Structure 1
């Protein structure tokens, strides 16, 4: 188990969506509603719903909003959302996986395809890039949860597979099946996580600079601004100095 390896967050600029609170709350609400509809409307009895609620709390989403999203799943007017995954390539040969929750597959597909084509990328077929990623469970903690040694010790005791710590925080990796079991085991030692979810971890990363980096960030921003898009994962590594130029 690695304890101190530096890790570039494979989700682009965690704070990017923080600036768009209403849009972010809408996406979080949609995930909560879908999770509640797929299982019991009780976070303690529904692992996916629990993860969605944890993510919402981490973004300071009001309790009333969270409960409203859960209640919506059992109402007569509950919308039917379909989980869709798109795969493609961005500037610099970067591989991207886009996860969406949509009530209109044609609309979402058109929007995602347009985002790729207008920003130096191209949408690929299903499976065209996901073979270069591993599907894992990811539990995220802020740096304030403790130093790398404390988090590593807790992760080992909790049954995690790997830990990556840097100045931005801690990322604890697990198998898909043990994600929620490990998340529960970590709470008494580290407190409630910022997030617990399924993630796509790239096997290798592609360094992107200059014009390619700028266009890649525009592509990801465009995708994330779409109401149907929940998450964008990629195998890119944009050096800190490049991100500072683009900030």
Structure 2
């Protein structure tokens, strides 16, 4: 049966999850069209039982962390966001056979001809993407570290709002986290792509690019060649 998510903003359903990242399966309408590399996404992550009473939930919540990064007022969670929402950045995507262990075979046809000759083909394929955790929300604050538990399997994934992207990328540990994950993500391309996405969320605020460049210069002061290559990738004009 074709997979179809229940809301327009839903871009995937989690099918694998660890404390570091999750993998999500895209709805059929997003076959070949996953969230772009470096995009910011989120998924609900309930730290307490959904059936727990408000009193029980209050008792089970962690004590306030005085060292947590405060989320700006403009970026606080909406009432529809679950406590513990996990925020992540898309680091990988692929389209593959929907049948595990089977690789698609070439047909040697142009796209239009292929669609006419094999209209069932989309049902045999699926698009998935992976996203690295950047932090999670708790009591109206963005916690810039790994969540205490993996995301829930079959939880839906959606795009972060502009305000959430700004809040995430304002934290001083954001770029450091991505630098530590570079080996997992494959290259510094992820850092550059996410900074460009945050730049767009800020309506092309060049001061943000300058600030990001300065942070990277401090973090990579012992790797001048890597720093130079990375700074060139931050240019939104390419």
Greater fraction helix: 1
After TM superposition, the score normalised by the length of structure 1 is: 0.24
